[in-house]
Amino acid sequence: MAKKVLIVDDEPNIVISLEFLMKKEGFEVAVAGDGEAALAQVAAFQPDLILLDVMMPKKSGFEVCESLRADPAHAGLKIVILTAKGRETEVAKGLAIGADAYVTKPFSPKALAVQVKQLLEIA
């Protein structure tokens, strides 16, 4: 059974490229365009991993991450923050609130695919 990846970003071009990349790698994919939709999609789609932007409408990626980490039902969910915010303080905050990885844009699609597979323990 294919692992599920939820892409959360408010930039349509990024969503399209990430969706293409993750589907090409064999993942089942769902998309959310803001933080509130992300939380609803987690409940409905039950992803194994989330690619989560930080700067979004309604709830930031940091708020979504904190909310998911506060819920024991999502303890096994892998969270990759994928954002243009690459200052050390932001990276430290993202990891401190429970992200499994922090990737800055622009990113290498190949490297991101490898990282997603590593987090999901897919050879």
Domains of the chain: total = 1
> 12 Cβ partners below 8 Å, 6+ apart?
none
Residue 82's CATH number: 3.40.50.2300
- According to the model, what pLDDT value does residue 43 have? 95
Task: Determine the 3-state secondary structure of 2 from DSSP.
Answer: coil
* Domain that residue 89 falls in: 4-119
- According to the model, what pLDDT value does residue 29 have? 98
Token reading at 23: 């589907």
Chain centroid to CA 85: how far?
14
- According to the model, what pLDDT value does residue 99 have? 96
Low-confidence ranges of the chain (pLDDT < 70): 123
- According to the model, what pLDDT value does residue 123 have? 53
